[in-house]
């Protein structure tokens, strides 16, 4: 059942950017990919035509993409890379794409009986700095937090100005009844994961996901906790990752958690976590699952980006994108250099995605 609708403040910056940020996922596709080859991790590269795309038209899109300073893009079809542009090995901040990574870990440990999704904050002993959580707020369950529907509107580390301004008043909504893109929920889930499993987030990700699927660039040295102790005791868990490693993660989800015959993330969890439980944008047809944005088939968003199909994605800072479209057997990755000062390309992303979609040979 869909929950109450609430305008999302972050990472979307209006309807144009709601579309444009996802459009980034299929940006910057360009010159013909290398001849078919296999990497040690098993990724296969094919020419655009073999994936049903026109190299000539993609070259035009690539020229436009370069004008907006795109950093790196990988696009996969049927598990094969037909676009690999820019420095796909360079590790950029993931920003909010950290959330589906943690969601995957929740699924793995949930399947082992280490995580109780019905446990409440009270039962888990989860609180925060004064003003501490109320009795009512402590009734929120792990599932509520995964859906970003905890009803806990305490200050949180890593909030943007927009998130803080859009945060509802404390006590204004009961748990499970109202969706708000809530950094408190996401950060507290990191604390809860480590408390319930006894594992550290980054080490667990390396052991359970990065190593088994052959991530080439992932390093614990690129991960860190970020505290704002004047706001909250729960830190942000920050990842850096390359485009090619992020592509592997997307491919893992497109394959329903299976990697070369080994079930990494339970298929049941992939299905459960990529189901919409609340509304992000009714107009665009975007909902929210367990730390994934969900695109409804036949929606305005889907018709623009997913050829009418359903899918799921997450953005980082409204620019970096990981998106998966199972019905199209496709994974789209877009990276942008957000380490220093940068200019948001804005509506140029819509023009670029139109060029990319029009380069498809099979409509």
pLDDT in tens, 95-110: 999 999 999 999 999 9
DSSP strand E in the chain: where? Answer: 44-45, 72-77, 80-86, 91-93, 224-226, 236-238, 240-242, 258-259, 262-263, 278-281, 286-288, 293-295, 311-316, 320-325, 330-335
What confidence category does residue 169 fall into, taking pLDDT thresholds of 50, 70 and 90? very high
Least confident of 83-87, 143-147, 174-178, 203-207: 83-87
Mean pLDDT of 161-182: 96
State residue 231's pLDDT score. Answer: 98
Question: The domain at 96-226 falls in which architecture?
Answer: 3-Layer(aba) Sandwich (3.40)
Of 63-72, 104-113, 333-342, highest mean pLDDT:
104-113
CA distance 252 to 265: 8
Q: pLDDT at residue 195 above 90?
A: yes
Listed in sequence order, the residues at least 6 apart from 230 whose beta carbon sits closer than 8 Å to its beta carbon are none
State residue 11's pLDDT score. Answer: 33
Q: pLDDT at residue 61 above 70?
A: yes
What confidence category does residue 340 fall into, taking pLDDT thresholds of 50, 70 and 90? confident
State residue 346's pLDDT score. Answer: 72
Q: Identify whether the C-beta of residue 136 lies closer than 8 Å to the C-beta of residue 153.
A: no
State residue 3's pLDDT score. Answer: 42
CA distance 278 to 258: 27
What confidence category does residue 65 fall into, taking pLDDT thresholds of 50, 70 and 90? confident
Q: Identify whether the C-beta of residue 53 lies closer than 8 Å to the C-beta of residue 75.
A: no
| Residue indicated by tokens 């023009």 | 351
Helix boundaries (H) for 174-242: 183-197, 201-205
Q: pLDDT at residue 333 above 70?
A: yes
State residue 239's pLDDT score. Answer: 98
The reply to whether the predicted model has a pTM over 0.85 is yes
List, by residue range, all CATH 3.40.710.10 domains of the chain. Answer: 15-92+240-357, 96-226
CA distance 296 to 276: 8
State residue 232's pLDDT score. Answer: 98
State residue 26's pLDDT score. Answer: 37
pLDDT in tens, 289-314: 999 999 999 999 888 878 788 999 99
Listed in sequence order, the residues at least 6 apart from 1 whose beta carbon sits closer than 8 Å to its beta carbon are 277
Mean pLDDT of 222-244: 98
What confidence category does residue 350 fall into, taking pLDDT thresholds of 50, 70 and 90? low
Q: pLDDT at residue 228 above 50?
A: yes
Does domain 15-92+240-357 fall under CATH 3.40.190.170? My reply is no
- Residue predicted with more confidence, 169 or 3: 169
Q: 181 is written with which tokens?
A: 């893109």
pLDDT in tens, 106-133: 999 999 999 999 999 999 999 999 999 9
Q: Identify whether the C-beta of residue 311 lies closer than 8 Å to the C-beta of residue 325.
A: yes
Distance between start and end Cα atoms, the chain = 33
Q: Identify whether the C-beta of residue 97 lies closer than 8 Å to the C-beta of residue 314.
A: yes
Q: pLDDT at residue 17 above 50?
A: no
Q: pLDDT at residue 256 above 90?
A: yes
Q: pLDDT at residue 192 above 50?
A: yes
Name the average pLDDT for the chain.
87
∠ Cα 311 294 354 (to 5°): 55
């Amino acid at each position: 059942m869909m929950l109450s609708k609430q305008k999302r403040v972050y990472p979307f910056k209006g309807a144009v950017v709601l579309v444009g940020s996802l459009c980034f996922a299929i940006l910057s596709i360009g010159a013909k990919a290398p001849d078919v080859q296999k990497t040690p991790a098993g990724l296969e590269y094919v020419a655009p035509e073999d994936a049903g795309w026109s190299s000539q038209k993609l070259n035009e899109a690539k020229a436009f993409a370069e004008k907006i300073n795109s950093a790196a893009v990988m696009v996969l079809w049927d598990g094969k890379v037909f676009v690999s542009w820019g420095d796909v090995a360079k590790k950029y901040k993931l920003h909010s794409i950290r959330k589906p990574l943690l969601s995957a870990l929740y699924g793995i440990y949930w399947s082992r009986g280490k995580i109780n999704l019905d446990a409440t904050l009270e039962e888990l002993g989860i609180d925060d700095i004064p003003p501490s959580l109320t009795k009512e707020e402590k009734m929120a369950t792990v599932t509520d937090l995964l859906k970003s529907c905890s009803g806990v509107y305490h200050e949180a580390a890593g909030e943007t100005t927009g998130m803080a301004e859009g945060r509802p008043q404390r006590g204004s909504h009961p748990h499970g009844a109202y969706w708000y893109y809530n950094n408190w929920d996401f950060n507290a889930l990191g604390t809860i994961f480590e408390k319930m499993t006894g594992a550290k987030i980054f080490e667990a990700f390396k052991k359970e996901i990065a190593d088994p699927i052959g991530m080439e660039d992932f390093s614990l040295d690129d991960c860190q906790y970020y505290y704002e102790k004047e706001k909250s005791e729960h830190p942000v868990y920050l990842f850096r990752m390359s485009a090619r490693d992020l592509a592997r993660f997307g491919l893992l989800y497109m394959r329903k958690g299976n990697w070369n015959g080994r079930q990494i993330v339970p298929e049941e969890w992939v299905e459960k976590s990529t189901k919409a439980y609340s509304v992000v944008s009714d107009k665009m047809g975007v909902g929210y699952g367990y730390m994934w944005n969900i695109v409804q088939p036949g929606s305005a968003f889907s018709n623009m980006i997913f050829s009418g199909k359903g899918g799921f994605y997450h953005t980082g800072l409204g620019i970096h994108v990981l998106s998966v479209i199972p019905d199209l057997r496709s994974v789209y990755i877009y990276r942008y250099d957000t380490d220093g000062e940068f200019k948001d390309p804005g509506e140029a992303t819509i023009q670029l995605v139109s060029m990319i979609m029009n380069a498809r040979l099979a409509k």
